[in-house]
Amino acid sequence: MEVLTSLYENPITQEIISWFLFFFGVGLPIAFIFWLIGLKGFIELTRFEKGSTFLYKMNPLTKILFGIAVMVVASTTIWWIGAILTFAILPLYLTLNNGVKKFNYVLMLTFSSIVGSTWAIAPYTPPSVLQQVFPNQNYVTVWVWPSYFVAMGYEPTLTLQAIIYGLQTSFRVTATLVSALLLVVTTSVSDLFRVFTKIKVPLAVTFSLLVGLRTVPKVFELLDTSVKMQMLRGLGYGKPRGIRTLYYIYGAFMAIIPAMVYLFRGAKTLAISADTRAFRAYPSRTSLKEVPFTNYDYIMFGVIVGLIVLDIVANLLGFGRSIPYVGL
Amino acid sequence: MMNAIEVKNLEVTYQGRASPSLKVDEFFVEEGESVLIVGKSGSGKSTLVNVLNGVIPNMITAEVKGEISVFGKDPRKTPIHELSKYIGTVLQDPEMQTFNYTVEDEIAFGPENLMLSKEEIRRRVENSAKIAGVYHLLDREIITLSGGELQRTVIASVLAMEPKALILDEPTSNIDPKGTAQIFNLIKFFREERRTLIIVEHKLERVLPYVDRVVLIDNGKLVFDVDKDELVEKSDILFEAGVEVPEYYLHMKKFGTLSNYKYSPPKRFESNGEEVLYAKVKVVTKKEKKVIVDAEISLKKGEIVALMGNNGAGKSTLLKAIMGILDEKRLQAEAKIVFKGKDISKSSIMERGSYIAYLPQNFDVMLVKRTVEDEVAFAMKNMKKYSRERLEEILKMFSLYNLRKEDPLLLSMGQRRRVAMASVIASGAEVVLMDEPTSGQDWHHRYMLGKEIQELRNKGFTFLIVTHDSRFVDKFCDRVLVMKEGKIVANGKPEEIFLREDLEIHPPTEYLVSKHGSLNFII
């Protein structure tokens, strides 16, 4: 036991654990994303696929407003409201085409976001912030970082309260993420274009946004091809199976530049194709199809109003954000 | 007849260039006329058409001198959207030109931009979809279309602008034989309705029946502009300019007739060597359990084997299954892969890569290093086979030694392909699987590729090449495998395969001219 204690207290061991914790927050979500979701999974989560359930029948504008409402509520109320919203929205994925698969992917993505966000916030949170969140508490020190970690913006110690604060804050991110992805997987680019035009978003901005949206699944597809090509050329060759995921991640990072160059070459073709079909001939466009509002939209408007009321009531009852936004 | 297009003393100089990339003294197109523009890649063909549709200088910056008139408008002073009512443009890669979700949305895109009424948009969508033969596909999702269907959708979306003239810039370069035939049928229709057409196309003899004149552009200059009947006289000039010229054109020029023309295919390499690769592959979809591929292949040392068949036949899937890089979330494979007698079915993809190299169609995405030599050394270092001597040997083998310090992504397409090929071979692989390496390339580049492959064969490499390019196959391959609905349905020498009509393979026209004794054949 004494040996273990002395080994634990050895400065080298402390350094190793510190660096392990440092990389844990970055590495675990990324490894989790690549290992369990994979680039192919991301294609599923970023591409519209036709479906017939109520989310597909809703007007894109309703889904945009819902996403905005969720974001506002999650960011202006106490953390557990964001958590409830996250877990309330998640089951909606089960109603989609290939719902179980998409639900599993988004669940894993949510978990990764929670770990990643927590770890991105906790070590940087100063005691002055924790004082506002957890007033009159004794802070429990979980780990003492090497002094030079301060250069990276880390606080000298990691407290249990900082981790809890990071975890709480992560739900503001996850609620917004799951509602935004719901819009992406249930709305076609063409319908979004029509709605954005109707609400007078400038055409150039709309086109840029939607080309980006349309390109995201293609990026993952290209990254996947590139990584496989690198593996065929020996990336991770002779290495234990357990650490191949790390090589896969490394390969994905290396693939970003060639994938982007490939897409930019294609973007020129798309730009010519759009402009030679009179794109931006006028400040607006007409539409062949109307994107109607259905009963589902009216129900969702009710939900959106409910969310706004919830936000107001929560704030009035003292369940607003613990730390006010500076300047707001 | 009035000239639809008139160009005089044109000079186009791209930004940063000291001299013009294109000089044309005179070029015109009458209304209702159809003109074919030929020339190898980089010769200036696309520059000319981009000047006519206003893309240069409105979207691509360049100094444009001279007189240009497109239906009385100067493209330099006319917004592109205004010009699009007069001249429509269809580009090479249909996938890159589409943006919308369904066929109907894509066709409606242009009329919607013109702020037309719903009724007018509907009328235009229906009309152009009927002309392009995609009316029955209006509700289909774009991503589910075949190459031919997709390109016809693009053509319909351009027709919906109701332009007086059409520019078709290599519209069949990226699609399979079935899709190519559909596009040529459409061009035939446009010809019959006397629509003004400017066609840039490598498949000279197939498009020739539908044009009045042929223009050759080479090294940025308009070399000749002749009636199509005079083309045979110019066939040697075309050949020297790197244009794909059927052999019988040269014969006709020499003898003035086709009567004694008999095509002799090149001598095929017959390998008596060992079997280097055996693969028995079955691929099924996980969800529907549908069989995508059920095939068995065998390659002998030094062979160059072509794998042909229409899109969706399972060619690319077979290659990916052999390499072990299938989409495992969607597909399930049972594969027995034997390399030189060694069963590598259970090997990791890294290990398979040390025996078999694979070059995808979009090979650019594999160029992850910032210098050519690092790219080629990548596999050698990963597989602990690095030696400076071997690296230099490979660089020299692919004429890359002088480019070794360059960034691969900044090289020309031919050079990039050579870097990609060198880098996969550097793993030590002796068998190379290539997925559509000839797609979208002119004859000059395809010819260079064929020569490189034959040189590598002489050094002991074996090739399996997925391609639609029957002239390339005839010229450079020893054997052809034909796939249909996931199965190998024919296996033989190119000349044996090309004579069979049941396989839906379009032979090089030399075979048809030899068979029929005339140019009057249906292709």
Give per-residue pLDDT as tens, B364-412.
999 999 999 999 999 999 999 899 999 999 999 888 999 999 999 888 8
Closest CA to B353 of B317, B328, B380: B380
Q: Please tell me which residue of chain A has the smallest CA distance to B158.
A: A277
Residue A170, pLDDT score: 93
Is residue A327 predicted with pLDDT exceeding 50?
Answer: no
If contacts are CB pairs under 8 Å, which of residues 465-504 in chain B contact chain A? none
Q: Which residues in chain A are closer than 8 Å to B151, comparing Cβ atoms?
A: none
Residue matched to tokens 């709605």: A195
Residue B1, pLDDT score: 59
Residue matched to tokens 């197109």: B29
Residue B34, pLDDT score: 94
B405 vs A116, A255, B409, B420, CA distance in Å? Answer: 39, 20, 12, 15
Q: Angle CA(B257)–CA(B262)–CA(B266) in degrees, nearest 5? A: 135
Residue A58 Cα, gap to closest chain B Cα (Å): 17
Residue A214 Cα, gap to closest chain B Cα (Å): 8
Calpha distance B201→B208 (Å, rounded) = 10
Residue A328, pLDDT score: 41
Can you read off the two tokens belonging to residue A121? Answer: 């916030």
The amino acid at residue A56 is: Y
Query: Are A195 and A150 in contact, with CB atoms under 8 Å apart?
Result: no
What is the b/e burial string over B190-205, where b = at least 16 CB atoms within 10 angstroms of the residue's CB? bbeeebbbbbbbbbbb
Residue A326, pLDDT score: 53
Residue A37, pLDDT score: 86
Instruction: Name the DSSP class of B520.
Output: -
Is residue A286 predicted with pLDDT exceeding 70?
Answer: yes
What is the b/e burial string over A244-255, where b = at least 16 CB atoms within 10 angstroms of the residue's CB? bbbbbbebbebb
Q: Please tell me which residue of chain B has the smallest CA distance to A237.
A: B350
Alpha-helical regions (H) of B133-246: 147-159, 177-192, 204-207, 235-240
Residue A325, pLDDT score: 58
User: Are the Cβ atoms of B117 and A277 closer than 8 angstroms?
Assistant: no
Contacts for A79 with CB less than 8 Å, ≥ 6 apart: A168, A169, A171, A172
Calpha distance A223→B344 (Å, rounded) = 26
Instruction: List the beta strands (DSSP E) in A83-194.
Output: 141-144, 157-159
Calpha distance A173→B132 (Å, rounded) = 47
Q: Please tell me which residue of chain A has the smallest CA distance to B157.
A: A277
Q: Which residues in chain B are closer than 8 Å to A235, comparing Cβ atoms?
A: 350, 382
Residue A244, pLDDT score: 79
Sign of the dihedral through C-alpha B495, B498, B502, B505: positive
Can you read off the two tokens belonging to residue B344? Answer: 């590598």
Closest CA to B79 of B60, B48, B58: B58
Testing the interface with A: which of B46, B84, B99, B431 to mutate, by most A Cβ within 10 A?
B99
- Strands of the B221-227 sheet, one edge to the other: B62-70, B3-14, B22-30, B221-227, B213-218, B34-38, B196-200, B165-169, B87-90
Calpha distance B384→B347 (Å, rounded) = 18
Mean per-residue pLDDT of chain A: 90
Tell me if the bond preceding B57 is cis, omega within 30° of 0: yes
Testing the interface with B: which of A186, A196, A232, A291 to mutate, by most B Cβ within 10 A?
A232
Calpha distance B131→B122 (Å, rounded) = 14
Regions of chain B with pLDDT less than 50: none
Can you read off the two tokens belonging to residue A274? Answer: 């759009």
| No. of helices (H) and no. of strands (E), chain A | 13, 2
Query: Are B308 and B316 in contact, with CB atoms under 8 Å apart?
Result: no
Q: What is the mean pLDDT of residues A215-234?
A: 91
Sign of the dihedral through C-alpha A192, A195, A199, A200: positive
Calpha distance A224→B327 (Å, rounded) = 10
Residue matched to tokens 């330099």: B76
Q: Tens of pLDDT along A20-32? A: 988 888 888 888 7
Tell me if the bond preceding B408 is cis, omega within 30° of 0: no
User: Are the Cβ atoms of B96 and A255 closer than 8 angstroms?
Assistant: no
The amino acid at residue A74 is: A
Residue B355 Cα, gap to closest chain A Cα (Å): 10
Calpha distance A272→A107 (Å, rounded) = 40
Q: What are phi and psi of B75, to 5 degrees?
A: -60, -25
The amino acid at residue B459 is: K
Query: Are A28 and A246 in contact, with CB atoms under 8 Å apart?
Result: no
Query: Are A190 and A290 in contact, with CB atoms under 8 Å apart?
Result: no
Q: Work out whether strand B3-14 and strand B22-30 pair parallel, antiparallel, or are unpaired.
A: antiparallel
Q: Please tell me which residue of chain B has the smallest CA distance to A261.
A: B409
Residue B410, chain A, CB below 8 Å: the answer is no
Q: Give bridge partners of residue B5 from the DSSP assignment.
A: B29, B70
Calpha distance B41→B413 (Å, rounded) = 10
Residue B521, pLDDT score: 63
Q: Which residues in chain A are closer than 8 Å to B352, comparing Cβ atoms?
A: 232
Calpha distance A193→A201 (Å, rounded) = 9
Q: Is A131 helix (H, G, I), strand (E, B) or coil?
A: helix
